[in-house]
Structure 1
Amino acid sequence: MSVNYDFTGKVVLVTGSSSGIGAATALLFAQSGANVVVTGRNADGVRKVAKQCTDESPKQLKPLEVVGDLTNESDCDRLIHSTVQKFGKLDVLVNNVGIAIRTDVYKQDFYENYKNLMQTNLNSVVYLTHKCVEHLAKTNGNIINISSNVSHMSAGNSVSAYNMSKAALDMFTKCMAAELGPKRIRVNSVNPGIVMSNFVTRMGVPEAIVHKIHDAIGAKYPVGRSGEGRDIANTVAYLASDTAAGFMTGSIVVADGGHLAANLSFEGESQQVLSQLK
């Protein structure tokens, strides 16, 4: 049985929504009647997702399209200004933007990679949240941060900086839930397991190997498969719904197909596949 949400009249901003989880999330909100803001660095991707949102919106609502880099504060400011200027308000902020860089602490470029990860995965979220509070307070809105189940894991396979960024994001989520509660702004996090998207290919991993990684890990998941963007979008929509999740804030919601529950590690089959890259 599918769950239908009604976000008619709501304004939803989804960062990193030109592909992957962000695109699936923007589409689900559009299908649920919301006015959606589609944003990312890839103009073609933004345009493609926005068209799909319009086509599948019950009233063919046209999303706001904003191309920008959220590690740039002026682009963040432009994104927020454009959203409020067009729609007059903001109800839901989905901080989905993120990158992954495989890097080892003993390598020459580790610290530069670490800074780039933190700038995208944490600092941009902090800045955007900071700037959106005044608007979300007016609508008793809410924030959903897209983290990762690796925030609960240590790893020795060149992803320590990424894991750290997501652990910090989880703590930011909980702190903001407590701090923004008096303003009636709810803040939650969704922590996916491995999800089929172009996220890993952007790390320089060939697509064929990405599929092998997903197949290898998904076969070990208790649900019998790796995740899809729609799986995470459904979790985001649940948390964004005041009717369904109005009593939830500060929650770290793991949606990982049983990855953590089964004590699975990236050091097994996936590491054998990744070793082909070294």
Structure 2
Amino acid sequence: MLSSLDVIAHNVSKICEECTEVSPKCLKALPVVADVTKEADLDTTIKTFGKLDILVNNSGIGSFSHISDAEYFKTQRSMFDTNLNSVIYLTHKSIQYLEKTKGNIINISSVFGIQSAKGMSGYAMSKAALDMFTKCIAVDLGSKGIRVNSVNPGAVRTNIMRNMPVTDEQGEAIWDAMDSKYPVGWCGQGVDIANAVAYLASDQASFVTGTILVADGGHLAANINMGFD
């Protein structure tokens, strides 16, 4: 049986292969496996490519918990370490390189940085803090020529539920139920968020910084409730 690290490494390699396939110049992506909650560095990336143009902070975990739960603080701290503190660290680490390229930073947040939901306080707090970090750092780094923005997705079919107390079948049932609630008629796919990231990273968005770009299929407009008891 493969370890969780082996599974992650396999998934990263698979994504790199997909990136190479869609690259107009067939450029090869560099797979790097690291624990974002620890102070892993960017040396591998910088040594390979010689520079850094865009930082996309896309690591995140989610969990359902209530303030009365015995493990609430432990769960909340874990989410903050991954969803917020890792972003702060990598941003800090990347500034010297992004200043040279006049690059930009895109943080992947959530509609729950804006909308409250039952049983999701820890996750929602981490994303709300990430949104404010995005706005503040956009102001701080503007003079360095670095733009900072956030994409706040609604429900997107990813593997985020693997760390939640639900079976694969229950997870699929949740996604299917959400499809019918969304005004567009379906939950998002990874490419929907990738398109938003590509726009913010492009020169077409050169006048956009400190923005929270909601890509949610109408989630907030329809006031959809995704809270859990």
The equivalent position to 2:58 in structure 1, one of 93, 96, 109, is 96
1:176 maps to a residue whose letter is: I
> 1: CA distance between counterparts of 2:129 and 2:65?
18
Q: CA deviation at 1:98?
A: 0.5
2:134 aligns with 173
Q: 1:165/1:129 Cα in 2 relative to 1: closer, same or farther (>3 Å)? A: same
1:66 has 2:26 as partner: no
* Cα deviations by residue, 1:212-238 (Å, 9 ceiling, x for unpaired): 212212211111111111100000000
1:246 maps to a residue whose letter is: S
1:81 aligns with 43
2:3 aligns with none
2:100 aligns with 138
Structure 1 runs of 4+ with >6 Å offset: none
The equivalent position to 2:207 in structure 1, one of 247, 252, 255, is 247
Q: CA deviation at 1:72?
A: 0.6
Secondary structure at the residue paired with 1:42?
helix
Stretches of structure 2 lacking an aligned partner (at least 5 in a row): 1-5
2:195 aligns with 234
Q: CA deviation at 1:41?
A: 7.9
| Count of aligned positions | 224
The equivalent position to 1:223 in structure 2, one of 175, 184, 202, is 184
What value does the CA root-mean-square deviation take over the aligned residues? 1.5
Q: CA deviation at 1:54?
A: 2.0
1:256 aligns with 216
Secondary structure at the residue paired with 1:219?
helix
The equivalent position to 1:48 in structure 2, one of 5, 14, 36, is 14
| TM-score when normalising by structure 1 | 0.78
Stretches of structure 1 lacking an aligned partner (at least 5 in a row): 1-39
2:69 aligns with 107
1:208 aligns with 169
> 2: CA distance between counterparts of 1:173 and 1:211?
32
> 1: CA distance between counterparts of 2:7 and 2:47?
21
